Amino acid sequence: EPEVTQTPSHQVTQMGQEVILRCVPISNHLYFYWYRQILGQKVEFLVSFYNNEISEKSEIFDDQFSVERPDGSNFTLKIRSTKLEDSAMYFCASRTTGGGNTIYFGEGSWLTVV
């Protein structure tokens, strides 16, 4: 079964450093998402991306965050200057535009900011 793949699975970074989380969405999907989950809390929407631009973003997704689809397969989330409170599991997700709106999630990238 096709799946969303994410790298790295776990990253530890110093506060203030830049981090790039990578995702390979399912190949025929055209909508891409980033969500995050702080330990023990609910999954929160960060941003959606369609047709090479952000279609919606949450208040969490401030100027420190950016997304990019640098080629035909990757979808990245960059955090420019990490803060302690950015420590969380970050999930990439994707869906097709076709019938049904199932969103498929990756396994997540666990980010620890120290």
Partner 1 sequence: GENVEQHPSTLSVQEGDSAVIKCTYSDSASNYFPWYKQELGKGPQLIIDIRSNVGEKKDQRIAVTLNKTAKHFSLHITETQPEDSAVYFCAATREAAGNKLTFGGGTRVLVKP
**Residues engaged in binding partner 1 (CB under 8 A):** 4, 31, 33, 35, 41-45, 48, 50, 55-56, 91, 95, 101-108
Alpha-carbon distance 26 to 102, whole Å?
Answer: 12
Alpha-carbon distance 7 to 10, whole Å?
Answer: 8
Q: Which amino acid, 80?
A: R
Nearest approach in angstroms of CB 50 to partner 1 is 7
Pick the closer one to partner 1 by CB: 70 or 100.
100
Structure tokens given for 47: 């941003």
Pick the closer one to partner 1 by CB: 13 or 107.
107
Nearest approach in angstroms of CB 24 to partner 1 is 14
Nearest approach in angstroms of CB 55 to partner 1 is 5
Cβ(39)–Cβ(101) under 8 Å? no
Q: Any bridge partners for residue 49, and if so which? A: 32, 54
